[in-house]
């Protein structure tokens, strides 16, 4: 009886599942690079295939998210506020959603990338990976952070990673603006629908980085609570 009561008070830690959810979200992000490469190479059949891959990964991330949320209301003692765990899940969920949105956009129209834009598009995607990769490095420490009550050297390490996350997202924002400027400099060569699709691509990729930064902000609040 005593062990059952203790189990009800403390429950199963959500931080291991949170790390698994983070990894699944990052699997979605990993598909950005092949998606953009397929776009640049005008391999539209590959885009369709990759869309299916992303859709499946996003669904798997959703299932993990729902499982974590179903456990949270039964908890009594956690080293951080439940609302912050839910906020972190929400930010991560939005990352996966935006990757899926990006894949969907690429399937709607066989849009070709202007030769003068290819390198900038590829560089922009690599910068998105800098942002999400930094978040991943911080977020996978959640379980270790929980074991030390979100303090000590482990927390300092994660705080350093989060500080770098903001800088990487700022770089992504600058690259997005420069890419948009380049797109509109070619408006005499591009039809309006193509420009609209380019902008949708840039905005959706930028949103991936924005939500990654937001997830980092939530993680920071968990540590400095």
Q: E strands along the chain, which residues?
A: none
Over residues 113-122, mean pLDDT: 95
Taking a C-beta distance cutoff of 8 angstroms, is the pair 36, 122 a contact?
Answer: yes
Choose the weakest-confidence range: 20-29, 43-52, 82-91, 145-154. Answer: 145-154
Q: What is the pTM of this model?
A: 0.88
Residue 78 backbone phi and psi in degrees, to 5: -140, 150
Domain that holds residue 41: 2-224
**Rounded Cα–Cα distance for residues 191 and 193 (Å):** 6
Report pLDDT digits (tens) over 40-82.
999 999 999 999 999 999 999 999 999 988 877 555 567 777 8
Residue 198 sits in a domain of what CATH number?
Answer: 1.20.58.220
Looking at the predicted structure, is the pLDDT value of residue 12 above 70? no
**Rounded Cα–Cα distance for residues 159 and 173 (Å):** 22
How many folded domains does the chain comprise?
1
Taking a C-beta distance cutoff of 8 angstroms, is the pair 76, 9 a contact?
Answer: yes
CA nearest to 211, candidates 25, 37, 85: 25
């Amino acid at each position: 009886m005593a062990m059952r009561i203790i189990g009800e008070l403390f429950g199963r830690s959500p931080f291991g599942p949170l790390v698994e959810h983070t990894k699944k979200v990052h699997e979605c992000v990993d598909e950005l690079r092949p998606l953009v490469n397929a776009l640049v190479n005008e391999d539209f059949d590959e885009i369709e295939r990759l869309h299916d891959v992303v859709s499946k990964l996003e669904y798997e991330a959703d299932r993990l998210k729902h499982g974590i949320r179903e456990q949270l209301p039964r908890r009594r003692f956690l080293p951080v506020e439940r609302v912050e765990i839910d906020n972190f899940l929400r930010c991560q969920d939005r990352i996966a959603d935006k990757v899926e949105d990006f894949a969907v956009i690429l399937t709607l129209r066989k849009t070709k990338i202007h030769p003068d834009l290819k390198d900038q598009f590829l560089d922009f995607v690599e910068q998105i990976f800098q942002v999400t990769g930094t978040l991943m490095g911080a977020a996978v420490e959640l379980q270790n952070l929980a074991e030390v009550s979100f303090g000590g050297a482990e927390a300092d390490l994660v705080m350093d990673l989060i500080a770098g996350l903001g800088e990487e997202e700022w770089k992504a924002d600058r690259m997005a603006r420069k890419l948009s400027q380049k797109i509109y400099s070619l408006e005499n060569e591009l039809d309006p629908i193509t420009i609209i699709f380019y902008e949708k691509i840039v905005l959706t990729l930028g949103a991936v980085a924005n939500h990654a930064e937001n997830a980092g902000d939530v993680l920071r609040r968990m540590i400095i609570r």
